Structures are given as C-alpha cells and as structure tokens.
Amino acid sequence: MVRTQPGGGIAITIDPVTVAVLQNRLTAIVEEMGEAMLRTAYSQILNSSRDFSIALVDAQCRLVAQADHIPVHVGAMPWAARAVAEAFPHPARGDVFLLNDPYHGGSHLPDLTACVPVLVGDRTVFWSVVRAHQSDIGGATHGAYNPAAVEIWQEGLRVPPIRLTERGELREDLLAMLAANVRHPRDFRGDLAAMIGAARLGEQRVSTILGELGEPVLTGAVDAMLDAADRHARDIVASWPDGVFEGEALLDDDGHGATDIAIRARVTKRGSEVTVDLTGSDPQVRGFVNSSHANMQSAVAMAFAFLLDPDVARNEGAFRPLRVVARPGAVVWAEPPAPVTLCTSHCSNEIVEAVIVALSACCPERAMAGWGRRFRIAIEGAQPRTGRRFIWHLFQARPGGGASSCGDGWNAAGEWHSAGGIKFGSVEVTESRFPLLFERHEFRPGSAGEGQYRGGTGGDLVLRLETTEPSHANTAGDGARHGARGMCGGMDGAPHRYTMEVPGGGTRVLRTKETGIVMPPGTVLRVLSGGGGGWGDPASRDPEARATDAAEGLL
Amino acid sequence: MTAWTIGIDVGGTYTDVVLAAPDGTVTVAKAATTRDQSDGVMEGLRLAAERVGRSVASLLAKTGRIVHGTTVATNALLERKTPLVGLLTTEGHRDVVDMREGLKPDRYNLRMPAPVPLVARRLRLPVRERMRGDGSIEVPLDIGSVERALDTLEAERVQAIAVCLLHAWRNPAHEAAVAEAARRRLPDAFVTTSSEVLPQIKEFERFSTTIANAMVGPIIHGYLERLQSRLRAAGFAGPLFVIMSHGGVASAAEASRLAVGTALSGPAGGVAAGLALSKTGLGAQLITFDMGGTSTDIALVRGGRASLSGGRFVGDARIALPMLDIVTLGAGGGSIARLDRSGLLQVGPESAGADPGPACYGLGGTRPTVTDANLCLGYLDASLGRQRRLDGAASERAIDRLAATLGLDRAATAAGIHRLVNARMADGVRVATVKRGVDPREHTLLSFGGAAGLHVCAVAAELGITCAIIPLHASVLSAWGMLNTDLRIELMRSQPQGGGIAAAPLRAAFAEMEAEGRERLHWFEGALEVHRSADMRYGEQVFEISVPLDACFDGDDDTTAAAIADAFHGRHQDLYTYALRDQEVVLVNARCSVTGKFRAAAAGRSIASAATQAERTRRVYLGTWIEVPVHSFEALGEDEIAGPCIIEALTTTALLRAGDRSRFDPRGWLEVAVGA
C-alpha cells in the first residue's frame, strides 16, 4: 500500500516484524530514559517516590510510547507537547522547552515538563517528553499545595511554554529567574538537569533509529503501532453492550465552604466507541480542587485505560475510541485564574470514579471499586539538637486499593491516580533523619469496604513528634467525608480519620484542607487512612475468605 | 593438581556435570533434572564417571572438591512451596513486608490479585520492645510477650521463625534474646534473625530477606544434608561447596545458614565462567549471554569483576543481599511466537518449556517456538547430538499456521521470529549495559547455553559489538564455571547516619568484619584476600552507589576520610558524568568480602566430543535460500573461517552470517569478528 504522509513523503506499509521490533525499541528507550531520571534526580520525591513520567510523542503530538510511572501524568503529556509545538512552531536541534502552567497545556504547577524535539532536517518528527513533580514550586506554602489559595498566583510560579535552551545553549538568565522563585534552588537545578538529560537521551536514541532506518520506516511503523492499539481497544469496547450510562462522584469539599461537589459523567457506549460527557458536573469552585483541561483529559483517559486489558499498548491508538465532552467553567475544567493544585489527585480521582461508576452498569466485571483518596500532611519544624529546619511529607499509611471481580483489593496500595506507583520511605530511615517516632504503622482493621471481594485495608499510623519547639503543618487532600467507592453492590471503604493529640491540649480531628496547624513538641498524630471500596454483594462473599480475614485480624 | 574437580549445575531441564581431570582435560555429561535434585546429580555423576571409564566410587575417591549450583531455593520461592514460617517482630509494625513500601507492579492492571503474604498475618506476632535509630532502648524487651507469641507458633507447628525487629541493624541485642528464647522453645525450628542475615538499615528489605531465609532455610538445609550423605555414601570425602548469588562459593554449612543467598545460584555459574574466561585472555570487558530454553540471563564482567546489585525480587520476596547483577529476559529457545490481540507478532514470555517443548520435539507441542523457526530456517540439524531426532515437519506445520495469519510465507515468518527474538535479546543487553551507563560496543559478547550460538552474531551486530565468543562447552558452561569460582564471604554493616565520614569507627567496623570472615574461613588452607567497599551517596540522594575503598586506609583518620569522599566523587563522576564536590557525602553501608582462591581448572578441547565430522553443506535461509558449508567444531584448524556458514559441536550450533569471520582458539572457544 502506498499513501501520502503528512510531511509530503511517500510511505509504504511496514512489514509486521519491523513494527514489532520498533515497538520494542521505543519501549526500551522510554524505560532507559526513566532509569536515567531515577538515578540522577536529586530530590526524594523523584528518586525515591518516582513521581515522574516519560513519553515519546510524534509530530502530531500523538502518544507513541510511555514508561509506566504515574498514570495521571500519561494522558496529559501530549497536551503539554501540543502547547509547546503551538508556541514554538519551528524548534531547532538542541532546543529544550519547559512548561507547567495548567492554563497552557500543563496539569498543575508542581509538574514541570521538559520537551526536546527530534528533528529530521528542520522538521520535528518526534518529541521526547519528561514530566517530574517538583518538591517545591514557590507560592505561599512550602511543597506546592496551598489549600488557602483562591487564585493560581497564590499556588506558585507559572511557566507557560518557554525555550530554556536554545540550540544547545542554556539560557542561564532564565534558569536563574526560575530558581529564584522556588524554595530549594539547588534541588530544583539538580532535578531539572536530570529531566533535561533524560529527555536528551530519548532524542539521541530516536535519532539513531531515524538514521538507521529513515523517517518513512519509523513513522510508518508508528502508524501501524497506533492502529494496532486502536484495533485492540475497539475489540474490547465492542464486546460491551451499547447504552447510555451515568455516574456521579462527590468531593468532600473545597476548603472554602462548598461541600459535596459533584462530578457527573454521562457515558455513551456505541459500537466500538465511548463518549464521556462531563457537562453535568458542578461549576468551578473557589478552592484548589478544580481541574485543568489537560488533567481532565488525562483522568478520563486513565479511567478508560483501567477498564481495558493491561496488555493494550498505551499509545494514542488505544484512546481513539474515546471522546471527551466538557465545558469550561466547570470543576472538571476550570477557567483562569482558579487554583488547581490538588487536581492531579482531586478531582482526578472523582472523574475516574464517575466514569467507572457509569460503566459499571455496562462492563461490571471490568469496573474495579474505588481506590483510596489522598490526604497529605507536610510538617515543617526544627531538628532538636542542630536547629536545622526540616520539612517532612507524609507518604506512609497508604489507603487501600479497590476490589474487583478478580479478587480483594491490595492493602495499603494507594490512590487511583498512582495505583501502587508511589513508594513510601523506610521508617528506620525516617526516624534517623527526622525527630519523629513511629509508635505504630500497620494495616487498619475494619477499614476495607465489604463486598463479594473486599477492598484493601487502609493504614493505622501513630506518630510522635520528638521536637523541642513547635512545628507547623499543612494538610491537602480529600476523603474524610466520602470513603473509596464500593462498586457493583460492594460497600464504600471507611473514610480517612486523622487526629492530633497535643500534650495537655486534648485531641482534635484534622480537616483535609488546613494551613498553619501548630504542633507543639510531643504532639501525637493518629492517621487512620481510608480502606478501598468493595466489589459485589457482601452476601456472596466466600465464608472461608471472611474467616481468613477474621483470623488475620483484618475485620 | 592431583585431584579431580567436579562442577554440577542443575537447570530447569538438564543437570550438567563437568569433570576436570588432574591434567586439566574436561569431560561433560548431562542428566535429566529430577524433582529431588540430588537424584539427577547422582545420575549425572554416574554418566560422567562412565565417560572417563571409572566407577563413581573411584572417581569420587580422587575428587578434591565438588562445586554445586542449585535452583532448589529459587524454585521453592517461585512456586511458594515453602514450610510454615512464623514472624516475631516489633509491636505495632507487623505488616512491614506486606505493605511492600506502597508499591504494586503493573500500573494499569488494577484487577491484578494481591500476592499471598510471605507470612500469614496470624503468624506475624508482636513482641513488646522498641529500639531507637541510635541503638538506644526506647522500650525494654518484655520476655513474657515473646513467650506468649511462641505459645502460638508452637501450637501452629511452624518449621521456621524469622526474628525481625526495628533498628536491629544498629543494636541486635533484642533480636538475639528473642532468637535464643525461640530456639529453646522450638529446638527443631530453623530460627534466623534480621541482624544476622542483613545488618542493614531499611526494614522492608531486611525483613523480607530474613523471612525469605526462613522460608528456604529448612529446605536448603535438608537438601544439602541429603546430598552430602549420598555423596559420602558414594565415596566422596572432600568438601561440597555451593555457588552463591554473589558468584562466590560457600561451604554447604554456610549455604544452609544463609540459605536465601543461594537464590541466584543457578545463573551464577555462567557469570563465574565469564569471569574465569576473562582471566584466561578473553578480554577484560565481557557481556555474558546465557540463552536457555525459557529465559536468557545477561550480566557484565568488567575489569576482572562481575558487577553486583543490591538485590531483586525472587517470586514475591525481595532479597536485598549483594548478588550478581543479572538481567533475566523471559525469552529463549522454547519461547512461543504468536500474534497478540492487536495483531502484532510477539515472541515469549510464554514458553513451551521442556514438556511439551518446541513442536519439533514431537512431544505434543503444536505452537511455533524459536527453536522451530531455527529448524525451519536450516540453522539446526534435525539429527545432531540430542537424545532425539527433531521433527522438521512438525516445526513446519507450526510455523505455517502462524504464517497464514500473518500473510507471509514460511521462511519469512520463521525469519521474522528469529529476528524479533534477536531484537529482544539486544534490548536485554541494552538494559544490562546502557541503562547502567555502560557502552556495549566496548565489550565482547560471550554466548552460551543451548540456543545462543544461532543468535549471538546478529545480536552483537545490532548492538555494534564487534567480537563474539562461542565456547566449546557453551551448553554446559555454567557447570564449567563452577570449577573456577573462589570461596567467598560477603559481610556488611550499616553505619550511623549524620555527621560526615568518621574514619575511626569505620576502621573498627572493617576490622570486625575482616575478623569474622577469617574466622568463618579458618579451615581454608590457602591465603585469604580481603576487599573493602562502601555504599555511598550525596546527602539528599537515596540511591547509593558502590565504591571500592581498598586504597583508602593508609593514612591517618583525616586523610582516610578525605580519601573515601574522594573515591566516591570519582565514582559518581564515572557513572553519571558529574560530581558535586561541595556537597555532603554519606556512607551508608560498609562492606567487606573475604575470598579464598582455589586453583582454576583449565579449559581446552574436550575428550568427550571426539567424533570429528567431515565438512558438509546445508541449505539455510538468510534472506534467500543459500547453500552454506557446515563445519565441525572439533575439526576446526586455526585458520580463519568466513560466514555465511554453520559450525556444529555435540551440544551447540553457531551461525555465522555473511561478513562474520571466525577463528578457533585452542584454549577452547570460537572467536567471531562480527560483520556489520
């Protein structure tokens, strides 16, 4: 078959073996980029918790290959590349572009994205893309989560698409300006160097293939890969019954008075196509639970990917059967200058929840129950002997994973948007580095949502501050009111319950969106994180499984 | 050398036995691997003895040592056929291992069932005690709580007990007391503590490794006892050694104590062979490429050393002991080719294994494998060397079915499978090299295992590697490698965090480790070699890199501390292209290896493969069908042979493409200059 290419060239159909070989090579390239990033990054959120993602997109900014890191990043990265390509239609070899602005193709401010073009002559053929969550991005609070923000400028530094490196020449002035606006400039520079290094590695590797095989073979093979994933996804979707299905998910609140904020998905499944219409969702709110456009697209794509088979190649082809309808001004697609920092977790997870609840009536055996919601705490204080300032982020006490038709949920495996991709640090290392004592860190019995298959349990953490002067904390999260969603007759998981006991000062419950919490020395935090949702009617649970749970002390 | 040496490698399908005679000649034998691996070992010894015209008793009576690689621990962990284990752990922390640091594999498979816990939660019992990060005691050990927990474990009839307490790497006193109580109450149980198995900070890795040790301890202990008594009964009076995951060997007693250290015993022999060959003049930079039936193991040998990693998962257990950095790919000769649901050709990870095996084995397999493709392409001779003739027609039928769905002819389909598996192998080598910052082109590719010779030149060409080596004993090279390993003990101590590098306590820690290593090898007659290294990182990093420190302890404390920091900066620069000399350097773990050197066995031509074959020709498919010469390995002179051609030995076949040129090296291998 002979056909015309967008670039004007002629391409022939590529033989299936070459397609398979190149798919393996492109996957190997993104994995190699991920490994380089992991080993060279400087801040703990990247080199330990791996909160970064890698993608290759083609000239039309179609996702070609991605390394499995953080699901909520993946569907969003082509939007970032698109914003760069629009802002800079004629990139040169050696250019590096950067962005984070949720109103210019980004998801939220902490996720900085580096894009490096892969050129043939002076034409862009691919983009090598690296996205990484920065440990700080300026703004009013440390660590980029500011529940008090009511406009985006209070959330941190906005970077619309910029050319940081021009034909291999780093623009030091621009970098100095960026670094001057964040709290840890040394980490920021180190992490940025790692991101650019990984993106350049991708550019080199893809250029090597282009040099060996030529552009028509590689782009022809990419077309074939995307088409294959499209066919694979459509095959699966076509096996579901047609219909129109509705789902709703509720956020606890926005921290500024709005409660039970609704995300509504009306999902039409016809033939091999799925249309997700979010226009029935609530209008945007004051607090930072609003979603950016790219993040909304990514959340819907993530829900769709979760419902397909895990061996579907996650490239643009797999998402072709999917159409998203929404209107700006809604909580799922906020208009500037609304704050959006929490959106990669909330309302991402609620978008996923609404889509999966809707489709649970269509393909119940594929619809997994809800995974836990995120509820973070960042404590800022002083080391007792040295007086050195420290900032500690809570990653322990992971909430439970959701159950499914295939079995119980994973205990303490995290949230829908990371799905077991975030690692928490060692208690021994944490105690050696911070004035904290983990009196207990175990599963939380009774937290799992009941069902034919139960959810995963949440965590139970008792943490004592061994400080000698007061510390300050912020929270950022959701799910203290609504637990992880039960599915197909299963029950919701227990919601989060975080309390703080001050010596001689009684105990109080922490809200999910607070700033400026004072924690005197000896304060004890009790973190009871939510369990995962159950799947199926609890009455159908195998009595033996229930007996095992009882013997295991998990009920 | 006056005694025989025997290497025994138990693989998934075959048990290979290699005998090195006192004059250095090497004899090989293969027996089927059996459920109780000691049966296959004894049968292999019988066959090997037969080949050299001796009785087993007279051979074993003259045997100085036997080195054994076993997959007993690996299989037990993978299949989860392990005895009942109880865990005694710090109150409030009994779910450490089950939490897996929050991680779950396969990010988009949310319906994946959760793994069965290594130890059931009802057998994870709290002990009332608490150490602090500096080793001081926060809550003293309540021995009553230990006894109550032991009541339960006794009633449950556990066969092994893992004792895992927080911060025990810093102060093992509570663990020692708990273990003592456990041994008193359950004298028949295998009791192991985290501070003995892996005295290293980070509880998940330490606890998981210790629990895995408890899971395989009773099995390895029982297996080695059984094997030793059978060997003794058969007339063997010398020592039995086991090759460990780190590539050195340990006495059977040592291997029983640190049973989990045998988890990579199987593939370690191949890396040991690479190491030995690199010392006999094969070049200092090798990539070992061991392609078997179901999987392919790839490792690096550089500067006369094999690189070690900090651990890996074996089944559901994370094992954080230093072990050879082996990349394992789920593709080999038995890998099945198929179309995936998107209609693309895939090879592996599903394998036909040994039963039914590839279609050409005629044991009922109908799906096309890599071996079937190689047979259809004319690369393999259907009648060569195996116990059974290969059924070419069965291969053709299997390939034809796939060809029909692909819309290609038979040869193009088979060539596609061959090419795709080559591409996967090349990717595997990239993972083992490029991902570690190593350029594969500076290396020699050492190919072994049954299937590698047909793929090695194409894989090398795809990677830009210009030299490939195919040893005569390619199919039993792992067993041969075991004849060439050293006795080794790896020790480590985590160091207190904070306050920079303190030379004096470090010196003391190294002295203590060295003394312990020497004590454990006190029976060894030769000289012992000691090497010091450390796992280090910059203050804010979490990834440690391994830094050799042998040259750092000559001066006073200040000089030593500076030399150690300097060694780290240099290593970081080598690996990641930059160093941050103004930043804090943290030394996390001090490591010491104590090695006793055995005399190496020589390579050289085999006496077992005596049959010299006359030169023939065969039609093979290399883009088109062409007639190529077929040489016998044994008949090769020292002149150069140009591809395309086939070179066959009893147990291995090599394919040279046009442009490849090879020369036989009398030390026992074929050296190929790989064409582009």
At A139, give phi and psi (nearest 5°). Answer: 85, -175
| pLDDT of res. B266 | 83
| Residues with Cβ within 8 Å of residue A148, at least 6 apart in sequence | A140, A141, A154, A255, A515
Q: Which 8-state DSSP code applies to residue A83?
A: H
Residues of A (23-62) whose Cβ lies below 8 Å from B: 23-25, 28, 31-32, 35-36, 38-40, 42-44, 47-48
Of A65, A67, A58, whose CA–CA distance to A120 is shortest?
A58
**Contact partners, residue B104, CB within 8 Å, separation at least 6:** A401, A410, A413, A414, A419, A420, A421, B112
Q: Which residue has the higher pLDDT, B20 or A153?
A: A153
Pairwise CB contact (< 8 Å): A232 & B341: yes
- Residues B109 and A307: beta-carbon distance below 8 Å: no
Q: Which residue of B has its CA nearest to A231?
A: B342
CB A468, CB A381: distance < 8 Å? no
Considering only CB atoms, which chain A residues are within 8 Å of B120? Answer: 552
Helical spans, DSSP H, in B544-627: 557-576
**Secondary structure (DSSP) of B41-83:** HHHHHHHHHHHTT--HHHHHHTEEEEEEE--HHHHHHHHT---
- Cβ-nearest to B108 among A71, A402, A440: A71
Give the pLDDT confidence score for residue B436 in this predicted structure: 63
Would the CB atoms of A39 and B543 count as touching at under 8 Å? yes
| A contact residues 408-467, partner B, Cβ 8 Å cutoff | 408-414, 419-424, 426-429, 431-433, 437-443, 456, 459, 462
Helix axes B37-51, B203-233, angle to 10 degrees: 50
From chain A residues 349-378, the ones with a CB under 8 A of any chain B CB are: 366, 368, 371
* CA-to-CA separations, A432 to A374, B135, B482, B644, in angstroms, rounded: 26, 11, 42, 62
| pLDDT tens digits along A74-106 | 789 999 999 999 999 999 999 999 999 999 999
Q: Please report the residues numbered 521 through 550 in chain B whose beta carbons come closer than 8 angstroms to any beta carbon of chain A.
A: 538, 540-543
* Residue A7 confidence class, pLDDT cut points 50, 70, 90: very low
How high is the pLDDT of residue B607? 36
Radius of gyration over every alpha carbon of chain B, rounded to an integer in angstroms: 26
- Subunit contact B110:A552, Cβ cutoff 8 A: no
pLDDT the model gives residue B602:
53
Q: What is the mean pLDDT of residues A167-195?
A: 91
**Which chain A residues are within 8 Å of B343, Cβ to Cβ?**
16, 228, 231-232
The Cα A24–Cα B481 span in angstroms is 32
C-beta neighbour count of A168 within 10 angstroms: 11
Are B661 and B640 contacting, i.e. CB atoms less than 8 angstroms apart? Answer: yes
Looking at residue B574, its pLDDT comes to 66
Distance between CA atoms of A327 and A278, rounded to whole angstroms?
8
Structure tokens at B242: 């086991």
d(CA A92, CA B134): 55
Whether B582 has its CB under 8 Å from any CB of chain A: the answer is: no
Token output for A58: 């083609």
Residue among A428, A443, A553 minimizing CB distance to B133: A428
B332 near A CB under 8 A: no
Return the closest-CA partner of residue A73 out of A47, A53, A101: A53
Cβ–Cβ below 8 Å for A405 and B111: yes
Residue-by-residue DSSP string for A309-341: -TTS--SGGGGTTEEEE--TTBTTBPPTT---G
Instruction: Using an 8 Å CB-CB cutoff, list chain A residues near B340.
Output: 232, 311
CB B260 within 8 A of CB B73: yes
Nearest to B542 among A47, A310, A441 (CB): A47
Q: Which amino acid is at B143?
A: I
The verdict on a CB contact (< 8 Å) between A551 and B122 is yes
Give the residue among A21, A412, A4, A472 at the shortest CA–CA distance from A222: A21
A235/B contact by beta carbon, under 8 A = yes
Tell me the Cα Rg of chain A. 23
All residues of chain A having their beta carbon less than 8 Å from the beta carbon of residue B419 are 17, 21
Q: Can you tell me whether residue A148 is helix, strand or coil?
A: coil
Residue type, B535: D
Residues facing residue B669 across a β-bridge: B471, B665
CB proximity under 8 Å: A 194-213 to B: none
Indicate yes or no: CB of A442 within 8 angstroms of CB of B346.
Answer: no
What mean pLDDT is reported for chain A? Answer: 93
Query: A-chain residues within 8 Å CB-CB of B194?
Result: none
ipTM of the complex: 0.91
Neighbouring-strand partners of residue B163: B88, B193
Query: Which structure tokens are listed for A80?
Result: 């970032």
How many of the other CB atoms lie within 10 Å of CB of B70?
A: 24
Nearest by CB to B102, from A306, A311, A413: name it: A413
| Cross-chain CB nearest to B342 (options A40, A43, A231) | A231
Q: Is the peptide bond before B471 cis (omega within 30 degrees of 0)?
A: no
The pLDDT of residue B435 is 62
Spatial contact of B264 and B326, defined as CB atoms under 8 Å apart? yes
Pairing of strands B305-306, B296-302: antiparallel
Interface mutation target, options A21, A298, A302, A485, chain B, most CBs of B under 10 Å: A21
Mention every residue, 6+ apart, whose C-beta is less than 8 A from residue B453: B447, B470, B474, B647, B652, B653, B654, B655
DSSP, residue by residue, B322-377: -EE--EEES-STTEEEEE-TTS-EEEEEEE-TTTT-SGGG-SS--S-BHHHHHHHT
Q: Are the beta carbons of B575 and B306 closer than 8 angstroms?
A: no
Q: Which residues of A touch B166 (CB under 8 A)?
A: 427-428
B residues 397..416 contacting A (CB < 8 A) = 406, 408, 415-416
| pLDDT band, residue A1 (cuts 50/70/90) | very low
Judge whether B346 is closer than 8 Å to chain A, CB to CB.
yes
**In sequence order, what are the residues at sequence separation of 6 or more whose Cβ sits closer than 8 angstroms to the Cβ of residue A544?**
none
Which of A432, A488, A549 to probe by mutation at the B interface, max B CB count within 10 Å? A432
* Contact in structure between B4 and B21 (CB atoms under 8 Å): yes
- Both tokens assigned to B401: 């079915």
Mark yes or no for CB contact A21/B419 under 8 Å. Answer: yes
Cβ of residue A398 closer than 8 Å to a chain B Cβ: yes
Helix (H), strand (E), coil (C) string for A263-304: EEEEEEEECCEEEEECCCCCECCCCCCCCCHHHHHHHHHHHH
In chain A, the residue whose alpha carbon lies closest to the alpha carbon of B588 is A429
Residue B168 near residue B193, CB atoms below 8 Å: yes
Separation CA A393–CA A547 (nearest Å): 37
Residue entry with tokens 């395989």: B216
Q: Out of A310, A398, A402, whose CB is closest to B106?
A: A310
Across the interface, whether the CB atoms of B416 and A16 are under 8 A apart is answered yes
Under an 8 A CB cutoff, do B108 and A433 touch?
no
Q: Quick one: pLDDT at residue B388?
A: 64
Across residues A255-279, what is the average pLDDT? 98
pLDDT band of A5, cuts 50, 70, 90:
very low
Q: Which residues of B touch A235 (CB under 8 A)?
A: 341
Both structure tokens of B34: 């059996």
Q: How far apart are CA B123 and CA B388, in angstroms?
A: 50
Residues in A touching B423 (Cβ below 8 Å): 20-21, 24-25
Cβ within 8 Å of A, B 87-126:
92-96, 98-99, 101-114, 120-122
Contact B427 A28 (CB under 8 A): yes
Tell if the CB–CB gap between A411 and B101 is shorter than 8 Å.
Answer: no
User: What strands, in cross-sheet order, belong to the sheet with B528-538?
Assistant: B26-32, B14-20, B4-10, B63-69, B240-243, B249-251, B487-494, B585-596, B528-538, B545-548
Looking at the DSSP bridge assignments, the partners of residue B670 are B470, B664
Taking only the tens place, the pLDDT of each residue in A412-431 is 998 998 888 888 889 998 99
Q: Are strands B85-90 and B124-127 parallel, antiparallel or unpaired?
A: parallel
Quick one: closest CA in A to B576, which residue?
A: A40
What confidence score (pLDDT) does residue A374 get? 96
Residue B406: list chain A partners with CB under 8 A: 16
C-alpha–C-alpha distance, residues A517 and A523, integer Å: 12
Question: What are the mean pLDDT values of chain B's consecutive 10-residue runs (676 residues total)?
Answer: 84 84 84 87 95 94 92 86 96 97 90 93 98 96 98 98 97 97 97 94 96 96 95 94 91 92 89 84 85 86 82 89 87 88 82 81 91 95 70 95 93 95 89 71 87 93 91 80 82 78 91 92 85 85 80 88 92 65 85 81 45 70 94 79 87 90 83 90
Asked if A443's CB is within 8 angstroms of B92's CB, the reply is no
Paired strand residues for A390: A381
